A and B are shown apart, each in its own frame.
Chain A
Amino acid sequence: MASQEKYIRIDRLDKTYASPRGPVKALEGITLDIAEHEFVSVLGPSGCGKSTLLKCLAALEGISGGSISIGGVPVAGPPDKMGIVFQRDVLLDWRTILDNVLITAEFRNLSRAQYEPRAMQLLKLFGLEEFANRFPWELSGGMRQRASICRALLVDPELLLMDEPFGALDAMTRDELNLELQRMWTENRKTVLFITHSITEAVYLSDRVVMMSRNPGRIAEVITIDLPRPRALSVRETPEFGRYMAHIRGIFTDMGILKDG
């Protein structure tokens, strides 16, 4: 990793919130480099500040100390070539699926007509083309989240931030979307920062897994996942996969976050 050019540099990042009971440290001394085309998961218990880290990176939250740079430029506002997927799909009920996907172009003052073919192509990639003119409330949760991924990918961002995107979905839909996301990533190799609390999901999808502890949020360990790609879902039953899982679980158990028996 050391030889690769660092696309994202997070250096001794601190984030403190003001609260009625005094300042609360959400993140402390986060130092993390992410290479271009790398898939990095941030894994941790709720309240460890992993979503805050993502919001700091997107400049949706200000930082209290340290620095973040993307592509060599210090982050001052939301980066240009970035797409975000949240846990809730936040599709607008009054727009069709196609119009919902196109909204990221409209927000950026880009021509709708120019992006419409790409929107249709993305919907096709995620098996939604026949639902382009349907409304969000006519679709299932998995389809809605697929549409929100299309929306994030519309302007072909270099960086994709995903904040527990599959956290609200049932286990089977989640598996299916994991597979689709992995397939999509293998094809276009965008830089992805993926927030999750599922160990399986993190190991399955990532090049590296960043494990976080809470109070305050710190990086506990970074693990490189050396499994061949493309990965089938069945990779999760292999002994190597099991070893990664056991290793991560062991660290969380040592931190007192997971209990073993």
Chain B
Amino acid sequence: MASWWNRSERLRSVLMVLVAMLVIWEALCWALKIRPFILPAPSLVLKDFVSAPAYFLKHSGYTLLITSVGFIVAVILGVTCAVGIVYSKFLDRILSAMLVSLNAVPKVALAPLFVIWLGTGTEPKIAISIMIAIFPIVIDTVLGLKSVDPEMVNLAKSCRASTLKILLKIRFPNALPSIFAGMKVAISFSLVGAIVGEFVAGSIGLGHIILLSQGNFDTPRVFVALTLLALLGTILFYLVDVAESLLLPWHVSQRSVHGDAPVVQGGL
């Protein structure tokens, strides 16, 4: 129990700050008599959620689906592009030029175009999510694949290892920490993409709820959707974080987490 108390210190301090902020918010709303459609008190937001939990969960589930599919496809496509960029001068020129110019355009501005191309269903939303999330993945994966010790590659070559073996046994595992760094940025970006997609078209998802409630001046409902979005984003980020610490126990950034492995002393 005591050890749990110590280990959860960070979590406890975060929760304490959150609760304190909610209490101040609630108190200010009542004390200053702020009208709910300007800024609803937390209790009103909670009340609105409790009035129709199934409705909110359905829409959250849809946004979660768009975000996850967008993220997963972005990771697969992004890593594939990065391998192409690292291994082929030709692909490097083509893909890098394309990605850089595409990245220069505010991608939100492209969202209406996707509706024209793909309609108002799930597809354009996933496409926007992928488009926004793919950049950090490509950039970080390229960096990771390139920053391998040339002496390690020499060792592999001296054993006549194939290019594929060098990729799978050295470059790719070596790039995993960078890939995860890119994925942590991308998971938030794919949520942004999902919301942008829901803003532009369709009648489902948390983005749609926000737009609809705004039209009805139903500010508490806007806040319910925002809170659910914040929760979703946080949970997704920590899922990537947990996956990283499970998959990369060997990486420098994770060693203090698995602090039960001291450096062997003595014995030269």
Contacts and interface: CB of A to CB of B under 8 A. Distances in A.
Interface of A: 55, 58, 60, 77-78, 80, 82, 84, 86, 88, 90, 92-94, 103-104, 106-108, 127, 131, 134-135, 137-140, 142-143, 172-173, 176
A63 B236 CA distance: 53
B158 A138 contact: no
A80 B266 CA distance: 37
Interface string B121-162: 000000000000000000000000000010110111111110
Contact of A143 (B155, B251, B261, B268): B268
A250 B251 CA distance: 48
A200 B92 CA distance: 49
Nearest to B251: A93
Contact of A142 (B149, B255, B268): B268
15 contacts: A55-B154, A58-B154, A93-B251, A94-B173, A94-B176, A94-B248, A94-B251, A107-B161, A107-B165, A108-B159, A137-B252, A138-B262, A140-B264, A143-B268, A176-B268
A173 B268 contact: yes
Given A107-B169, A138-B261, A78 B157 contact: yes
A78 B160 contact: yes
Contacts of B151: 86, 88, 90
A107 B267 contact: no
A139 B264 contact: yes
Contacts of B149: 88, 90
B73 interface: no
A81 to B, nearest CB: 11
A107 B262 contact: no
B158 A106 contact: no
A149 B98 CA distance: 46
Given A92-B152, A137-B252, 20 more contacts: A77-B160, A80-B160, A84-B155, A86-B151, A88-B151, A90-B149, A93-B251, A94-B248, A94-B251, A104-B155, A104-B159, A106-B169, A107-B160, A107-B161, A107-B165, A107-B169, A138-B262, A139-B263, A140-B267, A173-B268
Contacts of B169: 92, 103, 106-107
Listed from nearest, the 6 A-B pairs whose CB atoms lie closest are A107-B159, A107-B161, A142-B268, A173-B268, A94-B250, A90-B152
A173 B252 CA distance: 25
Contacts of B170: 92
Contacts of A104: 155, 159
A46 to B, nearest CB: 17
